[in-house]
Amino acid sequence: MRRRSAYKRPGRGISGGNRKIAIGAAVAALVAGGLAVGTGLSSASTACDGLDQSLRDTQQFMAEQRANPNAQTEAILKNRQEVIDLINLQRRQAGCTGDVAAPPTAPPAAPPAAPPVAETTAPAPVEETTAPPANNGGGDATGEVVCKGSTVTLSGEAGAPFASSGTFPLGTRLKVTNLDNDKSITVSVESTSGSCILLNNAAFEEVREPGKFLIRRAVIERVG
pLDDT of 161 reads 96
Domain 144-222 CATH superfamily: RlpA-like domain (2.40.40.10)
pLDDT-derived band at 82 (thresholds 50, 70, 90) equals: confident
Residue 35, pLDDT score: 43
- 193 pLDDT band, cuts 50/70/90, is confident
- Angle formed at CA 68 by CA 203 and CA 89, multiple of 5 degrees: 40
Least confident of 13-22, 24-33, 180-189, 215-224: 24-33
Tens-place pLDDT, residues 99-153: 887 666 556 555 666 666 655 555 555 554 434 433 334 455 578 999 988 889 8
Q: How high is the pLDDT of residue 112? A: 63
Model confidence pLDDT, tens digit, residues 6-38: 545 544 555 555 555 555 554 444 444 544 444
Give the whole-angstrom CA distance, residue 214 versus residue 216.
6
pTM > 0.75: yes or no = no
Query: Given this model, what pLDDT does residue 136 score?
Result: 37
Q: Which residues of 68-99 are buried (b: 16+ CB within 10 A; e: fewer)?
A: eeeeeeeebeebbeebbebbeebbeebebeee
Supply the mean pLDDT for the chain: 75
User: Is residue 66 over pLDDT 60?
Assistant: yes
pLDDT of residue 88: 87
